């Protein structure tokens, strides 16, 4: 009798244990299913991330390839150095776009007996600035090479007319203020007679370690409320004179411990203090100076500086 009761208790205990094991097994199975579901979800998310990564890489490659091609196209508007090498004893070309393509550009040509040199800072940088630079270079070619205009003031007048027409500017409220700043010189290499005009872009002349600044008209090459003819200034150059034309990207670059602009005073100081060096050495000094000043700070704008020694 006692053995029967003992067996019954053992049986009930085993039954309870089996039930508990069954419940635990069901719980484990449920956890396994949940883990498998989470694993499937993670794998699905991983696949999605991988596909997105591939798409981003493909898009980046496409954009990068397009920018490289745009850079090569823009490079075609930049003139050969041969003209400067032929007519001047030295030259420097400091050109550093913020991105692969630039809103700053330089341009020169010979028309009759005169050499026309222009340096321009277009609205914006990157792709929008590059479009403006292509427009500006194309219009300069029409005005100087085809129309035969070599007086800098008249060049800027005509360029402003064409930019306003091309961009359909009317001065309406809210209208985009796209345009250019530009310095233009026209030089007769035989007589050393020079003419200068500027649209918000000055000209520096260094003669015997002394710097003179020729100030521009404070009007852009675009629609402006008080549009007047651009002034042409006559300058009689001398042997060993040095001329500098530039955009505002170099003096406006942020840097230093206090993250301030380099500024025009420091820029002029660099030019004067190193004016006895060859133009190629001056170019290296300009590059080293702004790189050291900039440090880890981002380049804030396109930069271009053109220098010639008579």
> Model confidence over 68-118: pLDDT tens digits?
655 676 677 789 999 999 999 999 999 999 987 888 999 999 999 999 999
Beta bridge partners of residue 292, listed in sequence order: none
Which letter, b or e, does each residue of 187-216 get, where b requires 16 or more Cβ atoms within 10 Å of its Cβ? bebeeeebbbbbbbbebbbbeeeeeeebeb
The pLDDT assigned to 49 comes to 67
Positive/negative CA dihedral, 206, 211, 213, 214: negative
DSSP for 208-267, written as a single string: TTEEEEEPPBS--BS--TT--PPP-EEEE--TT-EEEEE-STTTT-EETTTTEE--HHHH
Classified as helix, coil or strand, 93 is: strand
Whose structure tokens read 């397009």? 66
Q: For residue 148, give the nearest of 121, 186, 180 by alpha carbon.
A: 186
* The pLDDT of residue 128 is above 70: yes
Asked if residues 216 and 198 have their Cβ atoms less than 8 Å apart, the reply is yes
> Model confidence over 162-206: pLDDT tens digits?
999 998 888 777 777 789 999 999 999 999 999 999 999 999 999
Distances in Å between the alpha carbon of 8 and those of 18, 19, 109, 165?
15, 16, 113, 106
Q: Please state, as a whole number, how many other Cβ atoms lie within 10 Å of the Cβ of residue 124.
A: 17
> Model confidence over 9-38: pLDDT tens digits?
777 677 777 777 777 877 787 788 788 778
The CATH H-level (homologous superfamily) assignment of domain 79-309 is: PPM-type phosphatase domain (3.60.40.10)
* The pLDDT of residue 61 is above 70: no
The 104-111 sheet, strands edge to edge? 104-111, 114-122, 180-188, 193-199, 233-236
Q: Helix H segments across the chain?
A: 2-75, 82-87, 126-140, 152-166, 264-273, 279-294
């Amino acid at each position: 009798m006692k053995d029967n009761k003992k067996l019954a208790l053992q049986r009930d205990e085993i039954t309870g244990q089996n039930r508990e094991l069954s419940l635990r097994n069901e719980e484990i199975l449920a956890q396994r299913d949940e883990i498998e579901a989470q694993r499937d979800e993670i794998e699905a998310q991983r696949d999605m991330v991988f596909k997105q990564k591939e798409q981003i890489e493909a898009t980046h490659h496409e954009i990068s390839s397009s920018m490289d091609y745009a850079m090569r196209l823009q490079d075609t508007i930049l003139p050969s150095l041969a003209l400067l090498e032929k007519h001047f004893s030295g030259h420097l070309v400091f050109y550093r776009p913020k991105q692969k393509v630039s809103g700053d550009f330089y341009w020169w040509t010979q028309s009759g007996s005169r050499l026309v040199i222009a340096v321009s800072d277009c609205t914006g940088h990157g792709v929008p600035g590059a479009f403006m630079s292509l427009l500006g270079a194309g219009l300069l070619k029409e005005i100087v090479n085809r129309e035969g205009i070599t007086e800098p003031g008249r060049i800027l007048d005509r360029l402003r007319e064409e930019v306003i027409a091309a961009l359909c500017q009317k001065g309406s409220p809210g209208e985009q203020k796209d345009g250019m700043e530009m310095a233009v010189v026209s030089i007769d290499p035989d007589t050393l007679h020079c003419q200068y005009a500027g649209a918000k872009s000055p000209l520096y002349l260094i003669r015997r370690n002394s710097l003179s600044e020729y100030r521009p008209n404070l009007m852009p090459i675009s629609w402006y409320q008080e549009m007047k003819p651009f002034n042409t200034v006559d300058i009689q150059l001398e042997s060993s004179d040095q001329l500098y034309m530039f955009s505002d990207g170099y003096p406006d670059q942020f840097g230093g411990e206090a993250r301030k602009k380099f500024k025009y005073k420091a820029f002029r100081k660099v030019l004067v203090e190193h004016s006895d060096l060859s133009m190629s050495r001056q170019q290296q000094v300009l590059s080293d100076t702004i790189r050291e000043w900039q440090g880890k700070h981002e380049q804030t704008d396109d930069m271009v500086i053109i220098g010639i020694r008579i």
